Amino acid sequence: MKFINSEKELEILDEYYKKEGFQFVPIYGRRRIGKTRLIQEFISGKPAVYFLADMVSEAEHLKNLGRSFGEYLQDFILMKILFPWFMKGCAWNSALIF
C-alpha cells in the first residue's frame, strides 16, 4: 500500500529526531486517519522498537514489551524471562523512563 500525503508530518518528526537530547512528540487525531502508519513509516530504517498496547492485562503487556525489546536487541533472556520479572518490582512512573 502506498503511503501518501504525509510528507510534512514526516519532515516534522525527522526534525525532532535529529535534535540533541530527549524529545517527546505526541501524535493524536481522529480514528482511522493514519497515525499508526505515520509512525511505522517514520521508524522504518531507524533503530526503533514499535510497541502497540492493546486491551490485555498488565502482565501480558510486560511480557509483550519484553519480547519486543528482546527481539530488537537479539537478547533471548530479555525476550523470554528477565523483562517481565524485572518489571514486577518497578513502579510504572520510574520503570518506563529511558
Band (2; pLDDT cuts 50, 70, 90): low
pLDDT tens digits for range 6-21:
999 999 999 999 999 9
Domain extents for the chain?
Answer: 7-43, 58-95
Q: Please give, one letter per residue, the 3-state secondary structure of the chain.
A: CCCCCCHHHHHHHHHHHHCCCCCCCCCCCCCCCCHHHHHHHHHCCCCCCCCCCCCCCHHHHHHHHHHHHHHHHCCHHHHHHHHHHHHHCCCHHHHCCC
Residue 88 has which C-alpha cell?
Answer: 514486577
Q: What is the pTM of this model?
A: 0.68
